[in-house]
């Protein structure tokens, strides 16, 4: 069953959508300003996003623009404002996540002259930025893509080879892997390998499961291969010798349209991913419940407050309103 904006595959989706779901266009620009990250701060009603790759007309060098979107405050009385901020300290920014009360942890894919890695940026002017980590015991990361923070303080992130394939990073010196950085011990570990292009990552609400998307279907050149993975994998988080390991790797779901890029859970354990036709929604058991249809698809998205979702659709930023009881697992609001 389908409507103009929502497609229902399983009746349980109605509980997620609520009585009057909606999809509203907030901002439209002439360039792909709304591609990745999607980091929401409820206290200021602000959203930070990263653009798709842009090319400087003078130097022909690739870059990514970070923007701050003011959504109007608690009452949403004022209009939505999009402000470009200085992104030069974060080379080719991509995924991001809230970090502490007033900072953002950004993935920087790097360049030929600047390293890929994790960077911390203050979420207020002058947006002071510092590098957290850029290598695995001396071997530089490929092009760090997406990141999530565990409640124990550890940072988990993916590192595919897209930067090399897209011409702005040197040849990789590491496999495409999933990492865990222990901020207390300042130690880095590989948690999982065997991916083509590990991309989005999130935890289940109880943090017993890690979901990782493999977007191997889409090569960095733009070429696609229907025999490659366009898949979400799930892992159990187990403890051995007082340390976390990932076990029971299993195929959770496959996207039938495009790639499952950014990924999030709600507090009920449902799994959402940005795909080629918008946001696809699965139950915790891997059943496709339905879709939020967005022409052109969505690379990433994030939950706001009270069942709202901000969808990054390249040249357009959308706001979807689901049931007011829906809460994103990342912020729980």
Q: Is the pLDDT of residue 3 over 70?
A: no
- Residue 323's pLDDT band, with cuts at 50, 70 and 90, is very high
| Tokens 């203050």 sit on residue | 122
Mean pLDDT across the stretch 117-130? 97
Residue 319 lies in a domain: no
Residue 115 lies in a domain: yes
Residue 108 lies in a domain: yes
Residue 281 lies in a domain: no
Number of domains in the chain: 1
pLDDT cut 90: percent of the chain above it: 94
Cβ atoms of 36 and 324 within 8 Å: the answer is: no
What's residue 73's pLDDT? 83
Question: What average pLDDT does the chain have?
Answer: 96
Residue 7 lies in a domain: no
What's residue 74's pLDDT? 79
3-state SS, residue 120: strand
- In this prediction the pTM is 0.97
Q: Which residues, other chains included, contact 223 with Cβ-Cβ below 8 Å and sequence gap of 6+?
A: none
Token digits of residue 204: 């289940």
pLDDT per position as a tens digit, 229-282: 999 999 999 999 999 999 999 999 999 999 999 999 999 999 999 999 999 999
Residue 330 lies in a domain: no
Domain extent, residue 90, equals: 33-263+299-310
Residue 100 lies in a domain: yes
Cβ atoms of 323 and 308 within 8 Å: the answer is: no
Annotate 19-65 with DSSP letters as a single string. Answer: SS-EEEEEEE-SS--B-EEEEEETTTTEEEEE---EE-TTT--EE--
Residue 285, judged by CB atoms within 10 A of its CB (0-12, 13-18, 19+), counts as exposed
- Residue 79's pLDDT band, with cuts at 50, 70 and 90, is confident
The domain spanning residue 117 has which CATH number?
A: 2.120.10.30
Nearest Cα residue to 43 out of 89, 100, 96, 90: 100
Residue 55 lies in a domain: yes
Q: Is the pLDDT of residue 20 over 60?
A: yes
């Amino acid at each position: 069953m389908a409507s103009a904006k929502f497609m229902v595959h399983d009746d349980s989706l109605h509980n997620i959508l609520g009585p009057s779901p909606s999809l509203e266009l907030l901002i439209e620009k002439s360039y792909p300003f709304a591609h990745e990250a999607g980091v929401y701060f409820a206290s200021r009603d602000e959203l930070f996003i990263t653009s798709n790759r842009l090319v400087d007309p003078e130097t022909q060098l690739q870059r990514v623009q970070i923007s701050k979107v003011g959504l109007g405050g608690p009452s949403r009385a004022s209009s939505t404002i999009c402000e470009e901020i200085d992104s030069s300290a974060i080379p080719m920014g991509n995924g991001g996540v809230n970090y502490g009360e007033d900072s953002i942890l950004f993935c920087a894919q790097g360049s030929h002259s600047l390293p890929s890695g994790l960077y911390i940026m203050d979420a207020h002017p002058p947006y002071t930025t510092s590098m957290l980590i850029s290598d695995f015991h001396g071997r530089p990361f490929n092009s760090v893509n997406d990141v999530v923070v565990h409640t124990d303080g550890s940072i988990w992130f993916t590192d595919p080879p897209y930067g090399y394939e897209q011409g702005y990073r040197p040849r990789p010196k590491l496999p495409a892997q999933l990492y865990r950085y222990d901020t207390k011990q300042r130690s880095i570990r590989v948690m999982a390998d065997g991916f083509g292009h590990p991309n989005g990552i999130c935890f289940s609400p109880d943090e017993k499961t890690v979901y990782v998307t493999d977007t191997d279907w889409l090569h960095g050149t733009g070429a696609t291969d229907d025999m490659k993975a366009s898949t979400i994998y799930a892992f159990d988080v187990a403890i051995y010798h007082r340390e976390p390991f990932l076990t029971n790797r299993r195929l959770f779901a496959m996207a039938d349209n495009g790639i499952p890029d950014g990924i999030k859970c709600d507090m009920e354990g449902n799994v959402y991913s940005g795909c080629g036709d918008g946001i696809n929604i699965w139950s915790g058991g891997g059943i496709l419940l339905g879709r939020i249809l967005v022409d052109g698809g969505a690379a990433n998205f994030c939950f706001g407050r009270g069942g709202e979702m901000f969808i990054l659709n390249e040249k357009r930023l959308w706001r979807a309103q689901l049931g007011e009881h829906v809460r994103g697992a990342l912020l729980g609001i």
